[in-house]
A and B are shown apart, each in its own frame.
Chain A
Amino acid sequence: MKIDNPRPFLGFGLGLRTEHYQHVIEHKPQVDWFEIISENYMVPGGKPLANLDKIRADYPMVMHGVSMSIGSTDPLNKQYLTDLKTLINRVEPFWYSDHLCWTHAHQVNSHDLLPLPYNEATIQHLVSRISQVQEFIGRPMLIENLSSYVTYNESEMAEWAFLNEIAKRSGCYILLDINNIFVSAHNHHFKPQDYINGIDNERVMQFHLAGHSYQGEMIIDTHDHDVCDPVWELYTYALKRFGAVSTMIERDDNIPKFSELRQELASAERLAQKTLRAEQLLISGRPVLKGVA
């Protein structure tokens, strides 16, 4: 699978949340694009899809999933993939993404993003499954690094090396969550800058920013706070390393007014303007990650 290069730049987006539907539909605030949680719209009909269609008419979108369970040892969920493809055809997103994790195994769904052991056997397992998904959907996908709280004894490499290898072999792209790097670096005692330096530049397609919470000695990826200063600093570091990358802020709990989130997104824009040249931040026309077999 191939995409047009250089890396398309969509500008700065926000996660679309039900709390903001009315505001977005009525006021059409200036945001370059929205990211939707795919599963929220994988329902038969009614208001969720009606609101989605209304907002899609005014804004570009990308799709972000939480339930593909790409790292699971259970068979790929064909019904899920069929529903996802139906939604992709409806939304026509720039791209779709999910996580470097597993959520479902042993006939149980954890509804959580559970980490994988980082070794060659897992790489082969993931590359095979990502390839099947990309083949079925007909477009390459983005895989996002997650926040994690455990390390397996079976892990034999750094997470960034694992992620690079999967992207290289499967042809998928990377959604780099800057907050998740910060959280995992704290929880597993590595330098977040090493992660950013270790990631293959040409595979990175999108950034996530988010807030987190301290719980004793651990940081938990709660998405219920503003982006904190150390994560902004890491974002600046990532901009210097990768250049312009489509950036969005995820907020899933303790959701503030839309205007407050929009202000927070403006902070990301200002940092990018300070860090990069103006011509780097020109928004691409209509980049689409169309798969080419």
Chain B
Amino acid sequence: MRGSVLPIENNLEETILNFIKEAFDKKCIEAVILPKRIPSGDSFAYLLIKDKSILEGASPFPPVIPVQGAKAISSLTRQGSVKKKILAIMHPCEIRATIELFKLKQTTLNNLIFMSYDCPGVLPLSDYLENPDENDQTFLAAQQKWDSKDMRPVCKICTEFSAPASDLHIGQLGTDEGKIFLIPNSSVGKEFLNAFGLNSDVPLDEWEAEVEKLKKERENNKKDAQEKLKTKVEGPENLLETLSSCITCHNCMRVCPVCYCRQCYFDSDAFKFPPDNFISKSEKKGSIRLPSDTLIFHLGRMSHMIHSCVSCGTCEDACPMDIPIAQIFNLVADKTQQVLDYKPGRNIEEPLPTVTYQEEELQEFEKPYSETYIKVEETNV
């Protein structure tokens, strides 16, 4: 990997904001999408900004993800392309989700330039809201030390924290004090750096080594965390117990960047039954919980989107009952995506695993009649 080096003036945020302002001046872009603190000061919102004065005080590296960036992008471009050249600065998971939405035909990416950065993780939204000022400091410290202690559980085990399929990537790992790397991932990114007159041919071995190291560390964390979670969710009893406090508000689905359906199947008429349906079920078991579709909702949603789940953790942030829903989905997503050899958001050219196939694949999951049943018969004889 090769890229360029950018010196940090004062602090990282200011450097990036100045970089964007320069990009405006150099006519590389006409607008930018990045988070800014809302007027009440205790949370952040994505803004599409054209006016440089509004850019002042924006937060390219927010301590929380209140709204998944992919949702922001698709709200802008679901109905067609933008004409202005727009730069979007987002967490890697948000960019990965955007790419998935593009594959699902829920956004168009013409004229959009994506900028990502090595992500230290973010704080849980509810924790942050309890004391925004103090948590700003906590996050700042954690960000500098790459300490994921206070970050969200899925951030702690995220291995895709660096260099997604963005156009430009900000490398913070393995740099000397006072410097960051700007790494072009596409021809657009290269042009961008050229416009700035930056030499994009500096070798980035240190960065790569550092990323690998952190990846390994996170990989190990992930293994431990997943083992621990498995004991809580494996088997119907355990899973039901973990989901027992679910109130079926469907917040997880609504904030999920990949769940793009305007009307979820589980909210639709297909899930409205006559009273007999409930009563006969209840008579079989003595009682049924109401609403009766908690488990089918979660498992069904899983079957709809798990191959595209980017483990961004927004669902867990939005859950009023603190169910570790993002961790459960991460566990299943990991396995599913491994089997399908698919990583969501890895490559925009890669087709969704559910719309493509090879004739000679996944045979280990088949149980051909000739092999299983004939053998059984033979042994019976």
Q: Is chain B found bound to chain A in the same assembly?
A: no
Query: Residues on B close to A: CB < 8 A?
Result: none
